[in-house]
Amino acid sequence: MTDTIKARLHVTDALSAGGSVMLADDQAHYLRHVLRLEAGQAVALFNGRDGEWRAVIAEAGKKGVRLNLETQLRPQQPVSDVWLCFAPIKQGRIEMIVEKATELGAGRLLPVITRRTQMQKVNTERLAAHAREAAEQCERLDVPEVAPAVTLEKLLQDWPQGRKLFLCAERNDAPSLLAAAKGEGPCALLIGPEGGFAPEELTQIMALSQVVTVSLGPRILRAETAAIAALAILQSVRQN
């Protein structure tokens, strides 16, 4: 972020030269009362479609903050096509998965309810807000989608034909993700819950032809560590 840009915010409005955007509620509060910005000061806006824009505050009042769009700072880049499928874990740690996955370039986050999943209810909206904040902070030009939670059966049943699914399993005989992930094409990672996948689930997952079982090393990682490590490996071999 340059010196003159005081904040980066994700918006849903279209962004183009000469346009203006009205921010209300939390975003207006953040600019006016947290950052104490005033008319004339600049922020960066992005919406996942039109790149990143310099926007100058025209009015900051009780009804909200109106910004005028000036110049495009960065054109839109292709959005990442890596999916992270993960069993929801405890509050606090699940937010960490969402935040770090956003920083590491995941394009879609899919909570998956497995037999040993402790957290059966997922607050998709709250996780989406975490993804948005992380995208604003890490200078991404898009926000990954947080999909509604589905059961493992449903995930496998609807799995797209052309998308590889890297099943992260703590098995010594599996190839490393580093070796298996080289190449191109749509792909996804699947990370199990704290208690791991049940044996019947592993059989079910491995029956899918798109599945490649991979290892993340000799030690058993916590689910959030596994998600972060797997995305970091994928990012290093696939420019996502």
Backbone angles phi, psi at 199, to 5 degrees: -55, -40
Stretch that binds ligand SAM, among 12-20, 31-39, 180-188, 218-226 (CB under 6 A): 218-226
Q: Is 26 left (phi over 0), alpha (psi -120 to 50) or beta?
A: alpha
How many positions of this chain bind ligand SAM (CB under 6 A)? 18
b/e string for 100-112 if b means 16 or more Cβ within 10 A?
bbbbbbbbbbbbb
CA distance 176 to 189: 13
DSSP state of 48: S
DSSP state of 222: P
CB of 190 to ligand SAM, least distance (A): 7
Choose one: 22-30, 133-141, 145-153, 192-200; the region binding ligand SAM (CB under 6 A). Answer: 192-200
Work out how close the CB of 101 gets to ligand SAM at its nearest, in angstroms, rounded to a whole number: 14
Shortest CB 233 distance to ligand SAM, Å: 10
Site string for ligand SAM, 121-160 (x = CB under 6 A): ----------------------------------------
Q: Which residue has the tokens 């909200």?
A: 64
Q: Is 36 in the site for ligand SAM (CB under 6 A)?
A: no
Question: Site residues (CB under 6 A) for ligand SAM?
Answer: 168-170, 191-192, 194-197, 215-217, 219-223, 226
